[in-house]
Copies of this chain bind each other. A is one copy, B any other.
Amino acid sequence: MEITAKSIYTDVEKIRETSPLIHNITNYVVMNITANALLAIGASPVMAHAEEEVEEMTGIARALVINIGTLSESWVRAMFLAVKRAGDLGIPAILDPVGAGATSYRTKTCHDLIDAVAPAVIRGNASEIMALAMGETKTKGVDSSDSSVAALEAAKLLNKNAGSTVCVSGEIDYVVGGESVITIENGHPMMGKVTGLGCTATALCGAFAAVNPSFPAAAAGAMAVMGIAGEIAAESSKGPASMQVDFLDALFGLSEDDLTNRIRIGGQK
């Protein structure tokens, strides 16, 4: 089924009507903006990381978001408990491999999490997705002078190996899943100056996956909504901090017209 402004807005309405509980095990830097973004789109966020409770919390959630941005030993143990519980119950799990490739601890933790239970969606930037894809093939097959091409090739490889829908965000966002590669060309350069917007995109993938069982469609919807809210925010903001405020306000007020008038989606077969 084709993904359009109308189909994405239908998902937004479902999120607003059902307020799905999204269980986040995420990093300290972005917890506040992640929670506020989930509230703004209409979902209901909860953060919980204790080994004593993560399985119970995942069990009442509609999606699980795992983000390794400030990982440590006990948090990683909790992530495994939560993804296994999500796997058992058929709850979609979304993985943000923040900083994969920067340290071996991050790269290895991501590989182990993916091996334990393939996420519904893996969303990262080009270098993170390339680090995960290369680690699996032990080759330099994704090297390229064109980083956007390299990122897309890495996303395809990771999708093939892990079975997850893979979303690599950048100037053009690519969503690789099933038989298709979807491109989203919304967004604004100032978004790169606001900490946590990548993590926020991942959290929104969770909100969309909670209401749409097609994970490529869920990831594409999240990326379109992110980019369009960023474009709206850029029109009124004076810098990255007012951009963050205006972005969340735009997410909250997002209308079907905003989607219809601004969406730049392509690449669907």
Q: Which residues of A contact B (CB under 8 A)?
A: 27-33, 35-36, 39-40, 45-53, 56-57, 60, 69-74, 99, 102-106, 193-196, 237-242, 244-253
Contact = CB atoms under 8 A, between A and B. Distances in A.
Contacts of A196: 32, 35
A237 B213 CA distance: 35
Contact of A40 (B72, B74, B237, B241): B241
A136 B231 CA distance: 51
Given A35-B196, A39-B194, A50-B72, 17 more contacts: A28-B31, A28-B47, A29-B35, A32-B33, A32-B196, A36-B241, A39-B240, A40-B239, A45-B195, A46-B99, A47-B70, A48-B103, A52-B73, A57-B102, A239-B250, A240-B248, A241-B245
Given A29-B31, A39-B194, A250-B239, A47 B69 contact: yes
Contacts of A241: 36, 40, 244-249, 252
7 contacts: A35-B196, A36-B241, A40-B241, A53-B103, A56-B103, A238-B253, A239-B248
Contacts of A237: 249
A60 B104 CA distance: 12
A36 B46 CA distance: 22
A27 B29 CA distance: 10
Q: Which 7 A-B pairs have the closest CB atoms?
A: A239-B249, A241-B248, A35-B195, A53-B105, A53-B103, A50-B72, A239-B252
Nearest to A71: B50
Contacts of A49: 70, 72
A36 B195 contact: yes
B252 A40 contact: no
A169 to B, nearest CB: 17
Nearest to A236: B238
A138 to B, nearest CB: 20
A99 B248 CA distance: 24
A245 B237 CA distance: 10
Contacts of A60: 102
B240 A242 contact: no
Contact of A50 (B45, B46, B105, B251): B105
A203 to B, nearest CB: 12
A106 B53 contact: yes
Nearest to A24: B29
